[in-house]
A and B are shown apart, each in its own frame.
Chain A
């Protein structure tokens, strides 16, 4: 039984700023908060991308000659932390989740609007604090994994600020997760069944379960680590009898599910985008739901595959190999279903569909190397090498970031009422796709042949391949230029989009673009078939 609760509105709504100023306010409107997440995340993406460029410049030559070695370690630590905690997680969860979920469940706002605003406003200060730690006494330099004892022995101030910042970001993530679960379960419009929800709701439900179950473990671990650093306790410090492998278990108990926190929402978003542009129903809705939940369950029991070289016992290696490899099954189902969604459609070739198809190709590649990495004997050679770097960039960049761009092209008309320029969009796709593959595909070979990750210097025999990779990184940096030009031009002078330029059937399109504060002028529409393409459309409208 679903109870529709009218979301609480602030009593002094007239005091809330109007126009662009509301994006800098403690707004309770889920649409404003979604855009706040997206723009804030994108600004951090530009910072993280600048750091990535610095890494690739350093690696264009075999000597450590571009920046001091300890600064290099700070740069790679900040790059990883920013891209994960300030760009991908907040954007695929916070930005699109906040904007879309209330529409999808037929609500006027999220279940807890104030908590929602708090969750967002934790992000800018903790992000700025993280970046600013570089200027205080040097940022953290133990990698985004912060393995002790290295994280205990490197300069303390940077590491402590890093821990504080990740704790706040984790808190923000948990607040968001609770909010999504409550909204999807309790705020559905009367008459709307769970199995009628758009797929992104299921993806966010699964993701939020992972967030709520695993993020507190990370928080506890980092608090213990900070005790080791500040108060000389011995939880993880081997000199005082602590055990460093326990930290790795606790850390990966969160950080492996974190991968699914980054990709499951992308799976949801692509499931919304493909049917609209292919003009076909989403293939295999029920199996898609079950495979999301299968990934959630399996995702919680695979963490030790990050530790195959850490002296784990043989039985554990065997168990985590099998569990990890089996994630390929529900994930594979989703990919087959997406291709089947395209098959026999009437596909409009535009930037959104191109980025989505780029995602499928990149992610399949990253998934295949992932199944290989799950095999203990395979992993032992390439663990902690550039092979792994290449693998996870295929997942998080080639996968999730491609879907973030695809989603921006898809929902830009919804948010602004203006179309993005397709020519610039396709240019953006081509340069990103070529640059990305040029940057990361050669890194597989580097890892197989003896280049470890997180190094500022390397064997000169790898110079040529590293330069190809750096060239790819340059193209990736350039590719943001047409995108930014496109967004700035289209916000002001873009072609008018109308309310529903794609003739989509999901509920967010069944209102004006941009939508009113209350989401719908009247009652929320009951959308029983969000993917009913090819049927009597008049019935839906």
Chain B
């Protein structure tokens, strides 16, 4: 009996060890390029490890049962008439409940750190002069932060392109240029059907819904060129609806901005 327990403990520790090793060493995610990304990857790692432990454990249990308790040719009759075990069933109700609850609280914490739980104040004078209702995407900030930020960009999504309007420079671009390490605030609107703004390296996605102008904020942390992908079926060319986001040093960004700026705005 003691022998059996030792094997059980050995197997369980092995499953844990493998899961932790895989969780920490196998990277399934793209590069991290926004302040959201490392937070997301932390959550992913935890869920990946817990998932692996449960999956490997259950798979071993099923395959072991099939092998160990298979009917041999000389055997007749039935297995043991075991109809249940209350304490065992209580254990595997309570433990998963606790795990699920902890995961829920933890992901709430993650979501809060991403800025998802902040209420958007409807202080409309900050968002131009109109009084339309603004919907909040994840990782929004308070309106005050948006107001002092000069990087507000207006995104228009249409079949099958994204257009980026820089109101401060009075120009429209097909590429999204942003400086690194600065909070970007975008107001997104759709001209026709539902689209979605997704940058995998930033770990953010927000649907762009016609009739619902939506604010989306993010802070890029790594210079580079990343794809912007439409993630909501929007018609035949949905797969081709892509754009690029170019994260660059502030000086490069300013150079690009000044080159494209239309001075007529001051006239």
Contacts and interface: CB of A to CB of B under 8 A. Distances in A.
Interface of A: 64, 68-70, 72-73, 141-143, 147, 149-150, 153-154, 238-239, 241-245, 278-287, 309-311, 313-314, 317-318, 321-322, 325-326, 328-329, 332-333, 335-337, 339-340, 342-349, 353, 357, 360-361, 364-365, 368-369, 371-372, 375-378, 380-381, 383-385, 444-445, 448-450, 452-459, 531-535, 537
B78 A280 contact: yes
A243 B240 CA distance: 27
A384 B231 contact: yes
A333 B91 CA distance: 10
B69 A278 contact: yes
Given A244-B194, A361-B58, A383-B205, A283 B65 contact: no
B84 A284 contact: yes
A279 B78 contact: yes
A244 B192 CA distance: 12
Given A287-B84, A342-B65, A150 B194 contact: yes
A448 B30 contact: yes
Contact of B51 (A241, A317, A369, A384): A369
Interface string B148-184: 0000000000000000000000000000000000000
B83 A385 contact: no
B91 to A, nearest CB: 9
| Chain B contact residues: helix, strand, loop or mixed | mixed
A54 B28 CA distance: 28
Interface of B: 28-30, 39-40, 43-44, 47, 51, 54-55, 58-59, 61-63, 65-66, 69-71, 75, 77-85, 88-89, 92-93, 96-97, 100, 103-104, 107-108, 110-111, 114, 116-119, 135-138, 192-194, 196, 198, 200, 203-207, 209-212, 214, 227, 229-240
B242 to A, nearest CB: 8
Contact of B100 (A283, A287, A326): A326
A377 B110 CA distance: 7
Contacts of A318: 108, 111, 117
Nearest to B48: A372
Given A287-B84, A325-B100, A339-B62, A377 B114 contact: yes
B234 A150 contact: yes
B193 A153 contact: yes
B79 A339 contact: no
Given A325-B100, A357-B62, A309 B206 contact: yes
A377 B193 contact: no
B103 A375 contact: yes
16 contacts: A69-B236, A238-B210, A311-B206, A313-B136, A339-B61, A342-B69, A346-B75, A347-B70, A347-B71, A365-B55, A371-B51, A377-B43, A377-B110, A383-B205, A383-B231, A449-B30
Contacts of B135: 311
A377 B40 CA distance: 7
A364 B58 contact: yes
Closest 4 CB pairs of A and B: A534-B81, A455-B239, A238-B211, A345-B79
A244 to B, nearest CB: 6
A325 B204 CA distance: 21
A377 B111 CA distance: 5
A245 B212 contact: yes
A384 B196 contact: yes
Nearest to B47: A372
A317 B119 CA distance: 13
A454 B194 CA distance: 14
Contacts of A322: 104
Contacts of A450: 30, 198, 200, 227, 229
A150 B138 contact: no
A162 to B, nearest CB: 14
Among B30, B44, B118, chain A packs the most CB atoms within 10 A around the CB of B44
A335 B58 contact: yes
Contacts of A285: 83-84
A414 B79 CA distance: 23
Contact of A344 (B40, B82, B118): B82
A353 B62 CA distance: 11
A382 to B, nearest CB: 8
Contacts of B198: 384, 450, 452
Contacts of A378: 40, 43-44, 47, 107
Contacts of B104: 321-322, 325, 375
A349 B233 contact: no
B151 to A, nearest CB: 22
B238 A364 contact: no
A344 to B, nearest CB: 5
Contacts of B118: 314
A285 B83 CA distance: 7
A343 B92 CA distance: 16
B92 to A, nearest CB: 4
B56 to A, nearest CB: 10
Nearest to A242: B211
A287 B207 CA distance: 40
Contacts of A153: 192-193, 235
A364 B59 contact: yes
B51 A372 contact: yes
A149 B214 CA distance: 17
